[in-house]
Amino acid sequence: MFDGSGAKVLSAGDGLGAGIESTLLDFTAKRVLVTGAAGDIGGAIAAAFAAHGATVLLADRDHSRLLARHAEIPGSAWHLFDQTDTASVQQLAAWAGDVDVLMNNAGILRTGDVLDATPDEVQQVIQTNLIGPMQLAIAIANGMAARRQGVIVNTASQLAFTGAATRALYATAKAGVVQFTRSMASELGARGVRVVALAPGRTRTRLNAHLLDDEDEYRRSIGRIPAGRIGNTQEMARLALILASPLSDYIVGESLIADGGYVLE
């Protein structure tokens, strides 16, 4: 079937329903760099890409947990780096070499009264969650643009769209990630580089499990979530996989919010 311009339009009769898992989600021979790989979401993302054939490059600042993650993912390689250090970011990009997919995921969360935030805390949160990811994306994208192929998936946050008390610094940095994603995508799309973002909502990890295991805190947490539950790392990993795959080739510059509907309230 063809549209008015003469271009072929795929329809249900073209066999689109078959083979999606084995073809469009096959990352065999692809190099995928995952930052924040020692964390729960980053680790789940790295494992998902490895399970779908990718050569996974793991990067984090937590040496012991990074080594543990490397041991869990056969065939992976690892590199220790500090996202607040420009030289370290550049060294990571040089070590990684040609990358097909960058999962730009590393970050930190600072909570507390915004009036109590010190200049050092402001600098650390913005450097780690915005400036560092921007610098890495630019460094990696140079090689992608030269080869005219590649995907960058930046990790944003539902808080980039809603904000929240006690999370002003984090939400501000992640809002910057969203706009960086949009702007970078508009520049690089014509050069073969697709840039998108994944914006998780509340997701159970080892860092917040002690809070969510408290019944009252859990009820407060899900009070504004229409889905009625907290997300999990495997859900975020699946979405990252889809965003980086040819299934999402026509998604450019967007941020996929995965928060159980929190932003709807």
Q: Which residues are catalytic?
A: 170
What whole-number distance in Å separates Cα of residue 145 and Cα of residue 183? Answer: 15
Side chain identity at residue 30, one-letter code:
K
What whole-number distance in Å separates Cα of residue 257 and Cα of residue 254? Answer: 9
SS3 of the chain:
CECCCCCECCCHHHCCCCCHHHHHCCCCCCEEEEECCCCHHHHHHHHHHHHCCCEEEEEECCHHHHHHHHHHCCCCEEEECCCCCHHHHHHHHHHHCCCCEEEECCCCCCCCCHHHCCHHHHHHHHHHHHHHHHHHHHHHHHHHHHHCCEEEEEECCCHHHHCCCCCHHHHHHHHHHHHHHHHHHHHHHHHCEEEEEEEECCECCCCCHHHHCCHHHHHHHHCCCCCCCCECHHHHHHHHHHHHCHHHCCCCCCEEEECCCHHHC
The residue among 110, 192, 194 whose CA lies nearest residue 148 is 192
